């Protein structure tokens, strides 16, 4: 599974431009002989194999897209101007290596040299509009032959294992959720389960809204990569999550509130099975659950996430043991899900 995760992070799938990631995932789906469809917005919707023993529908969701950039201008001297796609901290960008456009042209983000900056510039946070991308072009015409307005731009960052169990890569948010979906699709389920590899999560949870309205699930489980700030200079109560302490269960974020019975079910499953887990301690951010929860007539949702340090950067880091425990927890909780729903129906 970790090798598959590394493979997926090597691919570029900026929001609205996810087709390369989708095609890679489709190879695995076809190998499992599963029914699938791609909707008009680009979501990949896959029907898991089922015995049909129980009459309810579960939607699993993980997004294929990643943060990145888009070309919105070309200067006379051949530099590319750009806008961010998704939330990225401009302070990490100077000097970053990139892959530009469909041709994957090498580029680097540049800024005025420090010895030419005045005091105010040196002491302020750099603004995105003052950065540019150098692709080695000498003028506007040459740059235009390499890339075009509207082209997507991705971080050029290869996955690297370091320490004993740590993985550094771009796009861990949310290729980690995608690989777990692929693992869960390898087995037969006693209820209807629909796995959704969604698009455009990073720019407004757009794909999830479309998919949920189509599927109309009874329950949704969102699999994510989430913030982890267990680093020097951050107070313990601000950590959000801690690397290596297990998958994080969210009680709420800025877009959704988790269903209490589902949360209790996942927590009890983790405790009964001896699976490490933790709470996401900050009510921040958002994910596909926000749109799924309010789709159609309303859906009971829960979010389970892998902690990722330096999220939305080219060097995001996770602990592979958290990923393994995330799969164990979600699989075990789903297997026991009919017992939860039977108890609810009898009550």
- The predicted-structure confidence for 40-76, as pLDDT tens digits, reads as follows 999 999 999 999 999 999 999 999 999 999 999 999 9
The number of CA neighbours under 13 Å toward the Cβ of 51 is 7
State the pLDDT at residue 272.
Answer: 97
Q: What is the DSSP string of 155-200?
A: E----EEETTTEEEES-HHHHHHHHHHHHHTTS-BSSEEEEEEES-
- CA-to-CA distance for 43 and 30, rounded, in angstroms? 16
State the pLDDT at residue 230.
Answer: 81
Q: Which of 201, 202, 224, 324 is catalytic?
A: 201
Closest of 126, 96, 91 to residue 109, by C-alpha: 96
* Band (347; pLDDT cuts 50, 70, 90): very low
Would you say residue 254 has pLDDT above 90?
no
- CA-to-CA distance for 264 and 250, rounded, in angstroms? 11
Active site residue 201: yes
H/E stretch holding 225 reads strand 219-228
- CA-to-CA distance for 114 and 123, rounded, in angstroms? 11
Name the packing angle between helices 337-346 and 320-335 (round to 10°).
40
pTM over 0.85: yes
- The predicted-structure confidence for 2-49, as pLDDT tens digits, reads as follows 999 999 999 999 999 999 999 999 999 999 999 999 999 999 999 999
Cβ atoms < 10 Å from Cβ of 290: 22
State the pLDDT at residue 236.
Answer: 73
Domains of the chain: 2-66+170-346 (3.40.630.10), 68-155 (2.40.30.40)
State the pLDDT at residue 126.
Answer: 86
User: What average pLDDT does the segment 193-213 reach?
Assistant: 97
Burial 224-259 (b: 16+ CB within 10 A, else e): bbbbbbbeeeeeeeebbbbbbbbbbbbeebebbebb
* Band (345; pLDDT cuts 50, 70, 90): very low
State the pLDDT at residue 232.
Answer: 85
State the pLDDT at residue 319.
Answer: 98
- The predicted-structure confidence for 122-146, as pLDDT tens digits, reads as follows 778 888 999 999 999 999 999 999 9
User: What average pLDDT does the segment 245-265 reach?
Assistant: 94
User: What average pLDDT does the segment 306-316 reach?
Assistant: 96
Would you say residue 307 has pLDDT above 90?
yes
Angle at 306 between CA 45 and CA 282, to 5 degrees: 110
- CA-to-CA distance for 175 and 24, rounded, in angstroms? 12
% residues pLDDT > 90 (the chain): 86
CA dihedral over 182, 185, 191, 192, signed as positive or negative: positive
The alpha carbon of 4 is separated from its chain's Cα centroid by a whole number of angstroms, namely: 15
């Amino acid at each position: 599974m970790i090798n598959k995760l590394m493979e997926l992070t090597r691919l570029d799938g900026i929001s609205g431009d996810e087709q390369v990631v989708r095609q890679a995932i489709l190879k695995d789906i076809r190998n499992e002989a599963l029914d699938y469809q791609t909707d008009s917005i680009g979501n990949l919707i896959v029907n898991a194999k089922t015995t049909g023993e129980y009459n309810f529908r579960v939607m699993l969701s993980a997004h294929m897209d990643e943060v990145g950039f888009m070309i919105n201008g070309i200067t006379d001297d051949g530099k590319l101007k750009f806008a961010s796609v998704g939330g990225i901290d401009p302070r990490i960008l100077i000097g970053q290596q990139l892959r530009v456009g469909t041709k994957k042209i090498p580029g680097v983000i540049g800024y005025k040299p420090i010895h030419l900056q005045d005091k105010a510039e040196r002491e302020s946070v750099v603004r995105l509009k003052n950065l540019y991308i150098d692709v080695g072009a000498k003028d506007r015409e040459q740059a235009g032959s390499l890339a075009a307005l509207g082209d997507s731009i991705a971080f050029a960052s290869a996955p690297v294992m370091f320490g004993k169990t740590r993985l550094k890569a771009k796009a861990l948010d949310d290729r980690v959720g995608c690989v777990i979906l692929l693992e869960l699709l390898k087995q037969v389920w006693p209820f209807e389960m629909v796995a959704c590899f969604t698009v455009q999560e990073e720019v407004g949870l757009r794909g999830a809204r479309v998919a949920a309205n189509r599927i109309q699930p009874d329950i949704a489980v969102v699999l994510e990569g989430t913030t982890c700030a267990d680093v020097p200079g951050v107070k313990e109560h601000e950590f959000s999550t801690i690397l290596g302490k297990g998958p994080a269960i969210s009680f709420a974020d800025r877009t959704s509130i988790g269903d209490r019975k589902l949360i209790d079910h996942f927590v009890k499953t983790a405790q009964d099975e001896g699976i490490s887990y933790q709470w996401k301690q900050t009510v921040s951010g958002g994910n596909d659950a926000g749109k799924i929860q309010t789709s159609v007539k309303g859906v009971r949702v829960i979010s389970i996430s892998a902690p990722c340090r330096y999220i939305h950067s080219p060097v995001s880091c996770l602990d592979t043991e958290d990923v393994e425990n995330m799969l164990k927890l979600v699989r075990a909780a789903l297997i026991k899900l009919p017992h939860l729903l039977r108890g609810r129906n009898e009550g």
